[in-house]
Amino acid sequence: MSKVFIENALNEPEWEEETAFPATDKELLFLTQKLAELEIPIKVFLQAVSIAAYDCFSAFRYADQYLSLAQNQHKH
């Protein structure tokens, strides 16, 4: 019974290894435009670009999280 459960669990999407792809020039331009929505520290921009060199999806997730937090701080 537990062997079947383990085999089924390993087939779940969250257990699959994600493949990271670097950002294209077009995606880097879009990332830059996205981060230009607010005034951000240069280190945040450079961190996003550094992440994008290895993993485009993670770079956009990082930018989205930063922008979301920054926008919430401006509201309060």
pTM of the model: 0.73
Predicted local distance difference test score (pLDDT) of residue 4: 46
* 59 and 29 Cβ atoms separated by less than 8 Å: no
Q: pLDDT tens digits, residue range 10-69? A: 555 554 557 899 999 999 999 999 999 899 999 999 999 999 999 999 999 999 999 999
Predicted local distance difference test score (pLDDT) of residue 1: 41
Which two three-digit tokens encode residue 29? 């331009």
* Amino acid letter, 67: L
DSSP 6-40: HHHHHTSGGGSPPPP-PPPHHHHHHHHHHHTTS--
Across 2-9, average pLDDT: 47
